[in-house]
Chain A
Amino acid sequence: MPIAMPNLTPVMPELVMTCAAIIMLMAELVIKRKETLGFLSIVSAALISYLLLGSAGTTFGGMFVSDGYSSFFKLIFMANLVLTVLISPQYLHTMRINFGEYYALILFATLGMMLMASAADIIVLYLGLELMALSTYVLAGFIRYDMKSNEAAMKYLLLGAFASAILLYGTSLIYGLTGTTNLKDIAEYITNNGLAENPLLMVSMIFFAVAFSFKIAAAPFHMWAPDAYEGAPTPITAFMSVGPKAAGFAVLGRVFLVAFGSVRADWSLVLVPIAILTMAVGNILALSQTNIKRMLAYSSIAHAGYMLLGIIAGTPAGISSVLNYMFIYAFMNIGAFAIVIMLRTEGFAGEEIGDYAGLAKTHPAAAALMLVFMFSLTGIPPMAGFMGKFYLFMAAVNAGYTWLVIIAVLFSAISAYFYLRIVMLMYMKEPAGATLLNTSPGIGLALAITVSAVIFIGILPAKILGLAQIAVSSF
């Protein structure tokens, strides 16, 4: 039987990314200025974004699919990649960890995410997930001489390995039940053979929910997040708080809506308590943090809780509101981390929340930007964060989860307290001493991009929402 060459158009962005990552790894040997590698990463991200436009299709025997949904997520990954690369160089210099592998690893991690977004088969999903996770473990421990960074990597690795094992266990159960790992075939088998009542299906769904909850840092599987976020190099914290979370949501949405679409009532039963717990843990524990990276870690847990509402709603509106939120979240969160990075100078961590006291006096522009990001994370209009939450809540109310939305808005009101604390310290307290800012053109550009996105999407949100709505129409 002759084996036909698979159609490579849908997978072209991933191929380019693979080549770019490998070239980067080798070029690192000869290139002295590591920033060049960063520049090359941005160029490849731009090229890939362009390739995404014409990549629609299914290939490798239905294992890999490129549709609006995956492309939207890949766009988020590209934004995440570019912004991370922009905010990295000066931090790497300050920490004396300016090694070229850094960029290659980021590219490999992003490649993993892209595979996850496009996975139409659990095997591809697992492949992408491991590629992403392994690269991120290394990145989290990139400050080799720092105990905290080592701890971050170790914790992330151990708990991540658990999650992978649980995912594989769930996969084996589902394979045992249906005899396939293809998401569409699983769905068909479930409806055709009346598997909906089978308790084993429920068990495997729980395993999937748990494994993905690890990746999106949803409670009670969030334990790794605060330590990993705190210890990892700050640009990587920013990268981790957006990329793997978005990828986690991409697979969560696809697996649960495609493969388990017919038993939605069952899995929303699993996800509702996870969502409530996640919002509670994220928002309440963030209140008592003194380290800004830990606070932003809990904040990112809380945001995963909000986004779960869209998945629970399970409607096209719900899924598109998750996409929309993830897009907005990428900009406001990386923007906030960019400010955190700027405070890091030689011999001064600048990671304590108290270090923000009086920033409005010493550095008014940085303080004003942080103010925008904090209000956006709280969800106060006219910042984009509000629009994101608004769509999520609309979708959930329309799907009949009004009570869940009431819980969510009350938690988001609680969140105002810890975001406002940063604003309060910056604007209403006197500076303890002369804070230095570690600026660079890259970080300036990243801040310009993120702040314009946050304000622009906040005022004119129709465009992005429209894209997100088109993206889910392929489901």
Chain B
Amino acid sequence: MGQTMNNTLGFPILSMLIFLPLVGSAVILLMKRENEKAVKMVSLLVSIATFALSLLLFSNFDKSTHLMQFVERQEWIPSLNINYYLGLDGISVLFVLLATLVTILCVLISWESIKTKTKEFFISLLVMEGAMIGVFCSLDFMLFYIFWEAMLIPMYLLIGVWGGPNRVYAAVKFFLYTLVGSVLMLVGIIVLYFFAGRTFDILELMTKTYPYNMQLVLFWAFFAAFAVKVPMFPVHTWLPDAHTEAPTAGSVILAAVLIKMGAYGFLRFSMPLLPDASRAMTPVMLTLSVIAIIYGGIICLAQTDLKRLIAYSSVSHMGFVTLGIFALNTQGVEGGILQMLNHGVVTGALFLSVGIIYDRTHTRVIADYGGVASVMPLYASLFMVLTFASIGLPATNGFIGEFLILLGGFAANQWAGVLAASGIIIGAAYMLWLYQRVFFMATNPKVAGLQDVNMREVITLLPMIVLIFWIGIYPNVFLSFMHPSVQHLLERVNGRGATAVAENVMMQILK
């Protein structure tokens, strides 16, 4: 087909990445439940092995091409032309790495905080990892959908079994929101399949053109699935509940990887498959993004719960991501992808840090804290770095991502750029105020005498801190992965040069 490159590694690395965690969870399934230590060790080893394997992707990835790499293809359901078809390009490769890294951290952070049904917890976590990797690697739409939906099961359990007091409500809400969105996408996928001549092959689907009206309908069908996952305003309401009630590992996975899949879905499916509809819908998408940025930020100011505040900040940050993506220019899309990684790293790390202190105090209410800096100085300085990264201070990764997005957003639509920029100011306000209330001011008796972070916890946070500065100071290492793929994507979307029309509509809406 000319759109893929052969796997040069000599072994099916992507399948191994998907199935290693699944095999690990099967091993744990067979272990004795009393033997918690061994269960944890196996999960840690499996997650480290998976991460180590995924580093091979990092070193062997050919950055000079947009073609799919490490490709594997097997017949799966021949009568329906469904294939087990895997591959990575510059857009997806970094997310696989993020998923494998985050899983290790999740195992570490859950080491002591998970006290009941330990066996089931680590099984769910590893199944989750396998499904996440599968989502990013799939080049067959059905295979993608299967991984996408399969993730619901472990995530539902992670939130509902090991979560906070209101966990059952949050878990059901999460499940139903995402399920309704996904099933509508499924109908869209089936319609696409028949129109394109019975194929689920994403690369083949991309070579076809679809009538404009059909594109519009499909765009909204896909939107139902992806926007819920991102989550975009106004379908974001499951996220604060899910984030807040999930155990630390669940929040981290949600923030770092799961909600990225919505944006990834737009990049991988909506835009290249439905270019005309994507262009036409740009005004709507930009408007929703700007609303999410500002609304999410303002809501943060009113939060009294640590995790809920960070959850709403995700709504705001993901608004930046969708803004960049639907700016439909190089800076915007690359900034959007980079910001997806950044948000995964920073917000993931923020949830890890909240988990660290929650394990000590068992409260998430901001008013229960105060003066933590004097009790846990090392923790305070680590949290400081994360706060700055979340605000987007120069030299941290947040700066690069948001800067690129604003650049792209401004080029696409001046008003969108201007309004989005105000979101950064609000971001600084709520994060700094949060830091002040938790770490400075008079020492709250509830935090007096707390132990500072231990070795395991520092190790958990360290990779994220390194990444924050690495991306912040030398982003090109990561950006270079995506250049050709983003270029290729934009050529497909902007093929007929109609962005000007879209901008005019947006101007009128904002007037």
Residue of A whose beta carbon sits closest to that of B161: A427
Q: Which of A283-309 contact B (CB under 8 A)?
A: none
Residue numbers in B under 8 Å from A461 (CB-CB): 77
Known: A386-B146, A405-B190. A428 touches B179 (CB 8 A): no
Are B120 and A402 closer than 8 Å at their CB atoms? no
Q: A381-B145, A424-B172, A427-B161 are in contact. Are A412 and B194 (CB under 8 A)?
A: no
Which residue of A382, A402, A412, A427 contacts B183 across the interface (Cβ within 8 Å)?
A412
Chain A 324-348 interface residues, beta-carbon cutoff 8 Å to B:
none
Decide: B160 and A427 in contact? CB cutoff 8 A. Answer: yes
**A398 sits at the interface (CB 8 A):** yes
A417, B176: Cβ atoms closer than 8 Å = yes
Contact between B176 and A416 (Cβ–Cβ < 8 Å)? yes
A286 to B194, CA, bound (A): 34
Given the complex of chains A and B, what is the CA–CA distance between A394 and B145 in angstroms?
Answer: 14
In contact, A393 and B186 (Cβ under 8 angstroms): yes
Interface presence of A406 (CB below 8 A): yes
CB-CB under 8 A from B157, the residues of chain A are 423, 427
Interchain CB contact (< 8 A) of A424 among B120, B145, B160, B194: B160
Chain A residues with CB under 8 Å of B161's CB are: 360, 427-428
Docked-complex contact B77 and A364, CB < 8 angstroms: no
For chain A, the count of residues having a C-beta within 8 Å of the partner chain is: 32
**Chain B nearest CB: distance from A408 CB in Å?**
9
Whether B37 is near chain A, meaning CB under 8 Å from some CB there, is no
Other-chain contact of B187, A382, A405, A420 (Cβ < 8 Å): A405
The smallest beta-carbon distance between A425 and chain B, in angstroms, is 9
**Across the interface, do B180 and A410 meet the contact criterion of CB distance under 8 Å?**
yes
| Residues of B contacting A417 in the complex (Cβ-Cβ under 8 angstroms) | 172, 176
B194 and A462: CB pair below 8 A? no
Say yes or no: B77 contacts A410, CB within 8 Å. no
CB distance from A464 to the nearest CB of B (A): 11
Say yes or no: is B153 at the interface (Cβ < 8 Å to chain A): yes
A151-195 vs B, Cβ < 8 Å mask (1 yes, 0 no): 000000000000000000000000000000000000000000000
Q: 1/0 contact trace for B162-205 toward A, CB 8 Å?
A: 00000110011001100110011011001101100000000000
Judge if B156 is at the interface, Cβ distance under 8 Å: yes
- Check if A147 is an interface residue, CB within 8 A of chain B: no
- Quick check: is B428 within 8 A (CB to CB) of the other chain? no
* Residue ID in chain B nearest A427 by CB atoms: B161
Q: Is B360 an interface residue (CB 8 A)?
A: no
Q: Which of B76, B146, B156 contacts A420 (CB 8 A)?
A: B156
Residues from chain B with a CB closer than 8 A to the CB of A364 are 33, 120
Across-interface contacts of A382 in B (CB, < 8 A): 146, 150
- Is there contact, CB below 8 Å, between B183 and A380? no
Query: Scoring A residues 448 to 474 as 1 if CB is less than 8 Å from chain B, else 0, what string do you get?
Result: 000000000000011001100100000
A380, B153: Cβ atoms closer than 8 Å: yes
Determine the chain A residues whose CB is within 8 A of the CB of B33 once the complex forms.
364
Q: With the chains together, A413 CA to B176 CA distance in Å? A: 7
B70-114 toward A: CB 8 Å interface, digit per residue (1/0)?
000000111110000000000000000000000000000000000
B488 within 8 Å of A (CB atoms)? no
Q: What sequence of 0s and 1s flags, for each residue 54-82 of chain A, a beta carbon within 8 Å of any chain B beta carbon? A: 00000000000000000000000000000
Cα A424 to Cα B117 with chains together (Å) = 14
**Do A409 and B152 touch across chains, with their CB atoms under 8 A apart?**
no
Question: Quick check: B187 and A424 within 8 Å, CB to CB?
Answer: no
CB atoms of B79 and A420 under 8 A apart: no
Given A364-B120, A397-B194, A465-B79, the answer on whether A416 and B175 have CB atoms closer than 8 Å is yes
Nearest B residue to A403 via CB reads: B187
The reply on A207 being an interface residue by CB < 8 A is: no
User: CB of A221 within 8 A of chain B?
Assistant: no
* B149 at the binding interface (Cβ < 8 Å): yes
A375 at the interface (CB under 8 A from B): yes
For the complex, give the distance between the alpha carbons of A409 and B194 in Å: 18
What separation, in Å, do the CA atoms of A461 and B146 have in the docked complex? Answer: 13
Bound together, the chains give a CA A428 to CA B120 distance in angstroms of: 12
B272 to chain A, nearest CB (A): 22
A317–B137 alpha-carbon span in the complex (Å): 30
Out of B77, B117, B153, name the residue touching A375 (CB < 8 Å).
B153
Residue among B79, B190, B193 making CB contact with A469, cutoff 8 Å: B79
**Contact residues of A between 360 and 407, Cβ < 8 Å to B:** 360-361, 364, 375, 380-382, 386, 390, 393-394, 397-398, 402, 405-406
| Min CB gap B116→A, angstroms | 8
Q: Judging by beta carbons under 8 Å apart, are A398 and B187 in contact?
A: no
Q: Which residue of B lies closest to A361 (CB)?
A: B117
Please state if B150 and A381 are interface contacts (CB–CB under 8 Å): yes
Q: Is the CB of B149 within 8 A of A406?
A: no
Contact with B along A1-27 (1 / 0, CB 8 A): 000000000000000000000000000
Do B80 and A394 touch across chains, with their CB atoms under 8 A apart?
yes
| Docked CA distance A394–B193 (Å) | 9
Residue of B146, B171, B183 near A428 (CB, 8 A) is B171
* Cβ contact within 8 Å between B171 and A398: no
Query: What is the CB-to-nearest-CB distance from B352 to chain A, in angstroms, rounded to a whole number?
Result: 24
- Contact: A360 with B191, CB < 8 Å? no
Task: Quote the shortest CB–CB distance from A14 to chain B (angstroms).
Answer: 31
Beta-carbon contact of A360 and B180 below 8 Å: no
Chain B residues with Cβ under 8 A from A375's Cβ? Answer: 153
Most B CB atoms within 10 A — which of A361, A398, A416?
A416
B190 engages A393 (CB within 8 Å): yes
B179 touches which of A393, A398, A402, A413 (Cβ 8 Å): A413
- Asked whether A462 lies within 8 Å of B187 as measured between CB atoms, the reply is no
B194 contacts A398, C-beta separation under 8 Å: yes
What A residues does B142 contact at CB under 8 A? 390
Task: Say how far A344's CB is from chain B's closest CB, in angstroms.
Answer: 26
> Do B146 and A409 have beta carbons less than 8 Å apart?
no
What's the nearest-Cβ distance from chain B to residue A194, in Å? 34
Establish whether residues B79 and A402, one from each chain, have CB atoms under 8 Å apart when the complex forms. Answer: no
A417 to B174 Cα, complex, angstroms: 11
Tell me if A402 and B186 are in contact (CB < 8 A).
no
Query: If the complex has contacts A417-B176, A424-B160, are A410 and B190 also in contact, measured as CB distance less than 8 A?
Result: no
Q: Please report A residues at the B interface, Cβ cutoff 8 Å.
A: 360-361, 364, 375, 380-382, 386, 390, 393-394, 397-398, 402, 405-406, 409-410, 412-413, 416-417, 420, 423-424, 427-428, 461-462, 465-466, 469
| B contact residues vs A (CB 8 Å cutoff) | 33, 76-80, 117, 120, 142, 145-146, 149-150, 152-153, 156-157, 160-161, 167-168, 171-172, 175-176, 179-180, 183-184, 186-187, 190-191, 193-194
27 contacts between A and B (CB under 8 A): A364-B33, A364-B120, A375-B153, A381-B146, A381-B149, A382-B146, A393-B186, A393-B190, A397-B190, A397-B191, A402-B191, A405-B187, A405-B190, A406-B184, A409-B183, A413-B176, A420-B156, A420-B172, A423-B157, A424-B160, A424-B168, A427-B157, A427-B161, A428-B160, A428-B171, A465-B77, A465-B80
Closest 4 CB pairs of A and B: A409-B183, A381-B146, A462-B77, A397-B190
